[in-house]
Structure 1
Amino acid sequence: MLSDKSRPVIEATLPVVGENIGTIATRFYEHLFAEHPELLDGTFNRGNQVDGSQQQALAGSVASFASVLVSAPDRTPEKLLRRIAHKHASLGIRPEQYQVVHDNLMWAIVDVLGDAVTPEVAAAWDEVYWLMASALINQERGLYSARGVRPETVWRPWRVERKIRETDDVVTFVVERVDDRLVKTSLPGQYVTVLMPMPDGVRQPRQYSLTRADDGQHRQFAVKRVQGDGKPDGEMSTLLCDTVEIGDVLTMSLPYGDVVLDDAGRPVVFASAGIGITPMAGMLSHLVAANSGLNITLLHADANEGSFALRRQVVEDVLTARNASLHVWYEDGTGSIEPMDGVHAGLMDLSEVTLPDDALYYLCGPIPFMQAIRSALIERGVAPSEIQYEVFGPDLWQADLD
């Protein structure tokens, strides 16, 4: 909670900071990496720096946190903080790194706003930063403790046991544990960070959803090759798909992620598009492994059946589950050779299916897809709190703050 001294200062300056927060974030990262180039090796995803998504996510997070402190002083944006904390834990972020971020962020605020940053204004925004940082440090400490690790020991070596071509641009990796340190199983819906040296020697991290229930000895994740559409090819996905072979050893974090299957015993509806099927496949696999009797509805949209990654695994799990159904939407309007409960043409349309009462919803896919599905669900009377969503990369949507 903001102090009485700082609240009116934040209220007065929030509009101008909000108006300039994108520029502040850009200048922050430029200065941070100039002062600490080592952070580009193993901590920050430079692909997200190139396309600007990391800057946008930082700007949105800081502005949103400050806005909540002013508009709702009796609460904090827990979902926003939890999402960031899990991502940080999967990267092994350490408490002392928050001081480095603080120093460079405050420098950027002064650099952009100039003389408007009086000592009083600087002190108020300093308080905002440390309220947010302290909340994240505490959450991350709990996440490390729950896994029985320290930030520097979240990493483990895993050997590639199988490499499965799912589609033209998606490859599944099945990896086995190399060392004998205790590894707890993942929760349904979680991801791991893969840390690999690029051809120039700089290590880069990427998060990948776990696509099957694991026993702590073996894990499975899928990688979609990123290329085309006017963007530079994804360096990590290209390296994994083209260069990594069976027998190679990968460095992976322990599993983290805040979007996990609720154990409330209520019906579940999974809605995904494209590679967004990956966390859904993982949660479905957990339900099948547990012999769950939950009412399960899986809705998936794709270009066509050939581009439906993990299709055979998903279909087999739906058939194995005691009370599950599968509906697909193919943009090209083609049918299916698989046993489906419904094959629809075009984009996903919830009016074409019957949804269970009192269900919990999980969304994953491109942000426009999730925005459309979430809006359709809310129009049907589903409470926003009953809808969880997973964003690959920095969360540029932050729908949980609605």
Structure 2
Amino acid sequence: MNRVMSWVRASPAAASAATNDDDKPALSRRTTRSSTASWLSTASLSTAATSFVDEPPVLASTATITPSRTVMSIDAGGILGVHALVVFETLDAAVKEEELARGLPSRPLSSYFDQVAGTSAGSLVSVLLACAPVDRMVDMWASFAHGVFCHSLLDRCRRAWAHGVNILVRKASTRKLRNQLAVALNDLGLGSDATMADLGARRNTPNVSIVVTSAREAGVPIVVSSRSSEMREGFADLSHLRILDATAASSSAPSFFKPTPLAFDRAQPHLFTPCVDGALAAANPTAALRLKPQETALVISIGLSSGTKRGADLGAKPTVTNLFLWLKGFGRIIVDPERIHEEMQTHFEWAERPESYVRIPAPDIYDRAQLDEFDKIPELVAASRAMFKDPEWAHKIRRLAERVVAIKFAQPGKAPPASG
């Protein structure tokens, strides 16, 4: 595990002592990754990257501009992201029952969350939660996955060879990925040229945060948010980036797609940094959000595996075009979202708020599926739905829905819901 999670593993006493550095100017803090500033195009973005790596930010005393009370987080996992959509479907039904019991008007599931974050395929899932009707999400996902990973006979031969050789040919088409992202964004009424700021301006939408990784610094997560004003101090404002570019970059697993160039500096729109799969820095995006337990009412973290398969293949394999950078960053790559889950769980326990962190894993069948096996989506959906019909999980989801609704109406300016 790299230094990204060092703030979690530090003892509470050590973390408390480290908060004394918060009064210092951001750029004067201890920085061991000097190369970070050389490729980032703005001082603010450089500060965001270095402070995340070198501080214990969750326990630090840095003030939050707008605390995120409820957070939804979706792991990386290719087509396995469909499990998150079934979670939304199930939770939405339970929330509607709770609204009815309390005599509340029905509202979109997305309006119950202040922030939704996703890595890799989870980036598109987060946009779907913010904008799409819950009952359309699974069909939209299946159409998207088919468009990206369905190949002609020639492509299938090429893909089979790529799976065997694995270092010469990418397994999927970057052009298809971008085309299908554009189709999805158009279907959502956003348009392929919409920026993250445009997404943030929509009513009743949470702050959408997408995790990407620079191809030059594989261990440093970069968070692109739709409303930067709601992020903690130290995060750069990257809301000028297009949604299509941010989601494509976050999904660009090295053995599947080409890196996506992103222009981080508004003042220099023609200065690009190649970016790749956010899973190379934070496969579980909760690690990149720098959440404070004392300011977070609820985090729902959705895993795309059962939690028993460790170090899953996230597509972080070398190709001819990225072999050197891949080898350089290998020691810093996070490929185990369950490890991050365990660290976050421990962190909330230290803060005596274990009930504020909830992890929802996927059924065992997800451990046996490949990230590009789109034809298995119906089988995966059926397994996820069966999981939530189990009495134990059905009870957990009902309790979770009760908490989500109660937290929403306990916020300042909201009348408490009727007791029913």
Higher share in strand: 1
Could you say which structure has the greater relative contact order, defined with CA pairs below 8 angstroms and 6 or more residues apart? 2
Structure 1 length-normalised TM: 0.23
Higher share in helix: 2
